Amino acid sequence: MTVLILAGTVILAVLALGLGMFLFIFFRRRQPDYSQPAVLAASRWADFAAPIQTGAQFLADHHPRSVEIESFDGLTLRGQLVEHPQPRGVLILLHGYRSCPRIDVYASMPRYYQMGFTLLICDQRAHGASQGRILTMGIKERYDAARWAEFAANTFGREIPVYLGGISMGATTVLMAAELPIKANLRGIVADCGFTSPRAIIAYLMRRQYHLPPRPLLALLRLSCRLFGGFDLDASSTVQSLSRSHVPVLLFHGTDDHFVPKEMSEAAYAAAQGDKTLLEFPGAGHGLSYIVDGQRYLAALEDFFARTLPTGRTAP
């Protein structure tokens, strides 16, 4: 009897550890209200408050329309739509892990609009105004990206060029979506500092930040994801997706990124089968390539759009 009690105690402890890791990594958390200047000023994004506020003012001036779709598993996903009067296409923008469009997208958003794009700025599942308690670091979100692309096609016509764009987890999401059967006129993917897979980035951070042995913990975490989240931690990766796709991709990564190593974008680039470009930005930390060298960043974007848009579509 003592042995059974001990065994049961160990099993419960292991399951509790797995559940604890799962909740820590994947469960929704309340986000700071960065629309409040004092909150933004007190955050780690304080140095970038000016371009963020400029983007916020741009959005307010253009009166975005609130839109929503239903995910494949019944969640209501919400976003904001800024329509361009003479669009070259639709650019769908996805933010990163436990972040929001204000932090990840607003600074560059006015320049995308100046390039001639209608903007669809999305809250990922379990973030912002979108429903969901569990985020999956791209595993389920890739299907959400495909749904947003199809929403754009249904709204503006099947012929309109559509681009998927994302930063950090958003970049992983759109790259993982590359192999999905998207019915929209998908012309390309723009991915800034994405990781190759949930397993890879969790293992990297376990070693680097927490000095933990990844192998046994990842096995337990994978089991927890299946039990508590209904997804497989190893269901997809950017390398796998791009090796099966010919969608053009433009990849950005900072060389001083200590959250997602640049080698992850290099691996995605090596796997890509279609038109591909990778730009690395010396001195740029995580998600800061545009801030460090906006001119080079924007020039690469313009070249990518010019190369992948249908013949005859030019900047307005």
What's the CA gap between 58 and 303, in Å, rounded? 24
Structure tokens at 139: 């595993």
Q: What share of the chain is helix, strand, coil (3-state, %, to 5)?
A: 45, 15, 40
Instruction: Give the pLDDT confidence score for residue 212 in this predicted structure.
Output: 87
Q: Which residues lie below 8 Å from residue 110, measured CB to CB, with a gap of 6+?
A: 54, 55, 58
Q: What is the mean pLDDT of the chain?
A: 94
Query: Binning pLDDT at 50, 70 and 90, where does residue 6 land?
Result: low
DSSP sequence for 77-95 = EEEEEE--SS-SEEEEEE-
Q: Whole-angstrom distance between the N-terminal and C-terminal Cα of the chain?
A: 78
What per-residue string of b and e applies to 12-43 under the rule 16 or more CB within 10 Å gives b?
eeeeeebeebbeebbebeeeeebeeeeebeee
Closest CA to 165 of 243, 229, 111: 111
Mean pLDDT, rounded, for 57-77: 97
What is the DSSP code string of 235-279? S--HHHHHHT----EEEEEETT-SSS-HHHHHHHHHH--SSEEEE
Q: What is the pLDDT of residue 313?
A: 57
Q: What is the rounded CA–CA span in Å between residue 177 and residue 276?
A: 16
Tokens linked to 78: 């919400």
pLDDT of 315 higher than 60? no
In this structure, the strands spanning 117-122 and 162-167 are: unpaired
Q: What is the structure's pLDDT at 8? A: 62
CA-to-CA dists, residue 286 to 128, 192, 206, 271, 299, angstroms: 21, 9, 18, 22, 20
What does the pLDDT look like over 244-296, one tens digit per residue? Answer: 999 999 999 999 999 999 999 999 999 999 999 999 999 999 999 999 999 99
* Residue type (1 letter), 274: G
Is 42-308 in CATH node 3.40.50.1820? yes
Residues 127-180: pLDDT tens digits?
999 999 999 999 999 999 999 999 999 999 999 999 999 999 999 999 999 999
Strand partners, 250: 190, 277
- pLDDT exceeds 90 at position 234: yes
Angstrom distance (rounded) from CA 66 to CA 11:
47
Q: What secondary structure letter does DSSP report for 159?
A: T
DSSP string, 163-191: EEEEETHHHHHHHHGGGS---S-EEEEEE
Asked if residue 88 lies in contact with residue 309, where contact means CB atoms within 8 angstroms, the answer is yes
The model's pTM is 0.94
